[in-house]
A and B are shown apart, each in its own frame.
Chain A
Amino acid sequence: MRPDAVEQVVLDALRNANLARDPSVQLVVAPGAPIFGPDSPLDSLGLVALLLDIEDALRDRGCPVVLSDERAVSQKRSPFRSVTTLVDYIGTLLQTEQA
């Protein structure tokens, strides 16, 4: 799966998440936008829902990955902090799956 297609999946998931969020806590939907951390209003349960949406979308495209495994949790810098880092992380997981 190409990086631009992965990025589109992540952006679509953010758009979808915004549908259920109050106007005052909307997530930025853009390449490079923050997802989880001090610059984002997304809390930990919101992150779980977002990751599940992304996993479902990737599975529907024939690319099943588990995003919230121990590798992600143990990384010093969370792969979930921005669209850029998450897309890179998914790319790494997909390469590992194919290897």
Chain B
Amino acid sequence: MATRTVLVTGATRGLGKALVEHFLNAGHTVIGCGRGETTVTHERYTHWRLDVTDATAVSGMFTELKRTVVTLDVLINNAGVASMNAVALTPLDAARRVVETNFLAAFNFTREALRMMRKSSGGRVVNVTSVAVPLRLEGEAVYAASKSALETFTRIAAHEFAAFNVTCNAVGPCPVETSLTAGVPRQKMDRLVAAQAIQRWARPEDVVNVVDFFLRPESAMVTGQVIYLGGVS
């Protein structure tokens, strides 16, 4: 695969960091962003410390990228927050934070990135959703709703972006051992895993495999698709 320029959100740790390291090992130029400092040091890696919901900071980053990066080929909307709680006990501000991070930030990054991807020979947007959408477990209404919005966005954006030779797909991991899932009661995560055909936690490389499939040049006809791990459908 020819080397590309890849932007990963939520790149500081967990799945995002694993994706950054994978793309660097594959020879790509990688731009990452996240609220924290990065531990990744590489000549082909640039880290932007920002909150993905801070529209001013995001706009500033893209202005600088447009000035310094000729073409953006891939956007991975990985940044996300979890909030497991009963609907009746979920404060409005907590729900707003989940929707702003999991959906609106992804929308904003995609909107900005598309402008740069139009110059790519084959742009790719990959959104990270969750098996929480099809599993519909109680206690995950807001989180699943935010990811459901992201999935619908993925499917409709695929139609709009085809004219620009850009595909838009989503991968829905089952539970992966990351900081996102560390804050969720083990019992809830075990219920999620029990609902899967393949009843084990996923590894970051399981997610990377699906992302790589979407990024292959041969996947130019694959768009508007959501692939869940673990046999969830």
**Using a CB–CB distance below 8 Å, which chain A residues touch chain B?**
45-46, 48-49, 52, 55-56, 59
A48 to B111 Cα, complex, angstroms: 12
Asked if residues B118 and A45 are in contact (CB atoms below 8 Å), the reply is no
Asked whether B89 is an interface residue with its Cβ less than 8 Å from the other chain, the reply is no
Closest residue of B by beta carbon distance from A55: B115
Beyond A45-B160, A49-B164, A52-B118, 7 additional pairs, beta carbon < 8 A: A45-B163, A46-B163, A48-B160, A49-B118, A52-B115, A55-B115, A59-B66
Instruction: Report the Cα distance A55→B118, complex, angstroms.
Output: 13
- Cα separation A55 to B115 with both chains bound (whole Å): 10
Q: How far is the CA of A86 from the CA of B229 in the complex (A)?
A: 48
Instruction: State the Cβ distance, A16 to closest chain B Cβ, in Å.
Output: 12
Distance of A41 Cα from B163 Cα, bound (Å): 16
- Chain B, interface size category, equals under 10
Give chain A nearest CB distance to B145 CB in angstroms: 25
The 5 closest A-B pairs by CB, nearest first: A45-B163, A52-B115, A49-B163, A45-B160, A52-B118
Min C-beta distance of B39 to chain A, whole Å: 34
By a CB distance below 8 angstroms, the chain B residues around A45 are 160, 163
| Contact partners of B163 in chain A: CB under 8 A | 45-46, 48-49
**Please, what's the 1-or-0 string for B30-51, where 1 marks a CB less than 8 Å from any CB in chain A?**
0000000000000000000000
Per-position binary interface string of chain B over residues 61-82, scored 1 when its CB falls under 8 Å from any chain A CB and 0 otherwise:
0000010000000000000000
Cα A52 to Cα B118 in complex, Å, equals 9
User: Which residues of B are found within 8 Å of A46, using beta-carbon distances?
Assistant: 163
Closest to A53 in B: B118
Question: Is B164 touching A56 in the complex (CB atoms < 8 A)?
Answer: no
Nearest neighbor of B159 in chain A, beta-carbon distance: A45
Binary contact readout B100-136 vs A (1 if CB under 8 angstroms, 0 otherwise): 0000000000000001001000000000000000000
CA distance A99 to B115 in the complex (A): 27
CB closest residue in chain A, given B59? A64
Complex: A55 Cα to B66 Cα, angstroms:
13
B118 to chain A: which residues have CB within 8 Å?
A: 49, 52
A-facing residues in B137-188 (Cβ within 8 Å):
160, 163-164
Q: What is the minimal beta-carbon distance from B61 to any residue of chain A, in angstroms?
A: 15
Q: How far apart are the CA atoms of A49 and B160 in the complex, in Å?
A: 10
Docked Cα-Cα span, A52 to B163, in Å, equals: 13
Bound CA span A46–B160, Å: 10
- List 9 interface pairs A-B (beta carbons < 8 Å), by A numbering: A45-B163, A46-B163, A48-B160, A49-B163, A49-B164, A52-B118, A55-B115, A56-B115, A59-B66
In the complex, which residue of chain A has the Cβ closest to the Cβ of B163? A45
